[in-house]
Amino acid sequence: MPPFLELRHVGKSFAGVRALDNVSLAIDAGALHCLAGENGSGKSTLIKIISGVTQPDQGEILFGGQPQRALSPARAIARGVQVIFQDFALFGNLTVAENLALSSELRDGRRLVNWRRVRAVAAEAVARLGVELDLDADVERLPTSGRQLVAIARALMSDARLLIMDEPTTALTRREVETLFRIVRDIRARGIAVLFVSHKMREMLEISERITVLRNGRVAAAGATADFDEAAITRAMTGQEIAATPYRWQGQAGVPRLDVRGLAVPGRFAPIDLAVQPGEIVGIAGLLGSGRTDVALSLFGMHPSYQGRIAIDGAERRIASVPEAIACGIAYVPEDRLTEGLFATQSIARNLLAGSLGRFTRAGLLDLVRAGAAARAMVQSLQIATPTAERPVMELSGGNQQRVVLGRWLLTEARLLVLNGPTVGVDVGSKSGIHRTLRALAMERGLAILMISDDGPELVQNCNRILVMHRGRMVDELAGEAMTEAALAERLRGLS
């Protein structure tokens, strides 16, 4: 029996740049296939070709052994192809039920809405997944995991035979990932193929049966998942070995860069004590809703009614606003860089300089020469991959965008860097580069770093200590030989 979908020697160029080169891929009915690769490897272009959005320059696309000519989105959908993109493409101002029933209402040409029918259609779609969703909730108020479930339920309503999931776990906690994997396996059991697009190696190995790795638009490796391990996937994705050597702070305890005592925000987290030395990287782990982000926001002046004491380099400071936090040398890199960290349409240089314009202003006038030189120097220092600092930041890969956010705060000469999900949505090569940069800043500049992350290996490899939060309280601390991935995972499981 021929594969459900087969691509033979597909190629695609944009403005003379080769995005895909001689790519072949086969997906059987009911298969769990992982498509891996760094940002810019060609994954998105391949998805667009399979879904009919983009036409290849060469090669063949076959469904059930039958060649397809001029595949369009409508024809791809008719063949059973459904794509769940990272933004889910939902109507945020509509309810769950309305989002789920809208396609069927339009398809059937209904002119009047029967709300009983809408709820019945939505309830049936949700029941297929074996999950609970509030059908009357506005989608924009759902957590990321909830919006993803709505997107999956909607896709399955259209008689999907191939479900393409583009980076589906980027913003999910480990518990949410486990729920997603259960649903994916249930979908496979119904004979629906799943193309799971990711750059998270452990998830690839856990969920897939076959793996195809792209690098620079070519197939770098392909085969059964059993033939791969993390090192093999990393080599295929990056073309090099990336050693996982842990960072260990070697300094002597003295006056802490950050020293908080009894810090609390009523209703968000209980009083905590926390100290971070210059050059130390301290991690905070915890389940969703544990209070980690609220601690970070308090340090950055976004919870002005906090209780307790905050001291920077031994001097007690009252931080009731973001400007006051910046004046104290505190920088905050948010988890969602696109909506909270960047001016997407503005240039790299403007994004880098946004927090430090005062350094380059004299008599009320901005010294464009000095500011431009500082921005270019930061691009070079952080190895931001761009031919010019005037390029719009939205054109950069996720890893380079994250470097821009980091560079903005380094230009403010920050002394404490608070990172919330520092490598969310970043591929393995860029992730390793960001980690190297953070370690160098800690060791060479004495920058104190507070790292919040759901990525256990990231915390274990880069932190001197890991603090565990649960329901607004600090409940544990891992350090030394006790700070292992297994120990951290076990501790978090015990809190669920």
Q: How is 106-132 classified by DSSP, letter by letter?
A: HHTT-SS--HHHHHHHHHHHHHHHT--
C-beta of residue 210 within 8 angstroms of C-beta of residue 223:
yes
pLDDT given at position 6: 96
pLDDT given at position 189: 92
pTM for this predicted structure: 0.75
- DSSP-H helix ranges across 346-424: 348-353, 368-381, 398-410
For residue 336, pLDDT over 80 is answered with: no
User: Whole-number mean pLDDT of the chain?
Assistant: 89
pLDDT given at position 363: 81
For residue 273, pLDDT over 70 is answered with: yes
Percent of the chain with pLDDT over 70: 99
With CA atoms as reference, report the closest residue to 422 among 407, 408, 439, 434: 434
Indicate the DSSP class of residue 138: B
Report, as an integer, the average pLDDT of 96-125: 85
C-beta of residue 447 within 8 angstroms of C-beta of residue 279:
yes
Q: How far is CA 314 from CA 208, 300, 328, 375, in A?
A: 51, 18, 12, 32
Please tell me the distance from the alpha carbon of residue 196 to that of residue 87, in angstroms, as a whole number: 16
Task: Tell me the three state secondary structure of residue 415.
Answer: coil
Are both 5-238 and 258-493 of the same fold?
Answer: yes
In 318-392, the DSSP E strands lie at 330-333, 361-362, 365-366
With CA atoms as reference, report the closest residue to 46 among 234, 226, 223, 215: 215
C-beta of residue 409 within 8 angstroms of C-beta of residue 429:
no
C-beta of residue 39 within 8 angstroms of C-beta of residue 428:
no
Per-residue pLDDT reduced to its tens digit, 341-356: 888 889 999 999 988 8
Indicate the DSSP class of residue 395: G
Per-residue pLDDT reduced to its tens digit, 7-26: 999 999 987 788 999 999 99
Which tokens hold the place of 359?
Answer: 């350094």
Report, as an integer, the average pLDDT of 451-467: 92
In 126-175, the DSSP E strands lie at 162-166
Q: What is the pLDDT confidence band of residue 243, given thresholds at 50, 70 and 90?
A: low
CA dihedral (13, 17, 22, 24) positive or negative: negative
C-beta of residue 450 within 8 angstroms of C-beta of residue 258:
yes
Q: How many Cα neighbours within 13 Å face the side chain of 473?
A: 4
- Give the start-to-end residue ranges of the domains of the chain: 5-238, 258-493
- Residue 27 dihedral angles phi and psi, to the nearest 5°: -125, 120
Q: 477: which strand partners?
A: 467
Angle among Cα 361, 364, 367 to the nearest 5 degrees reads 35
Q: What is the pLDDT confidence band of residue 415, given thresholds at 50, 70 and 90?
A: very high
Percent of the chain with pLDDT over 90: 52
Indicate the DSSP class of residue 95: B
C-beta of residue 280 within 8 angstroms of C-beta of residue 312:
no
* CATH code at 258-493: 3.40.50.300
Which tokens hold the place of 144?
Answer: 């990321």
Which tokens hold the place of 76?
Answer: 């791809």
- Homologous superfamily assigned to 5-238: P-loop containing nucleotide triphosphate hydrolases (3.40.50.300)
Report, as an integer, the average pLDDT of 398-420: 88
Task: Tell me the three state secondary structure of residue 221.
Answer: strand
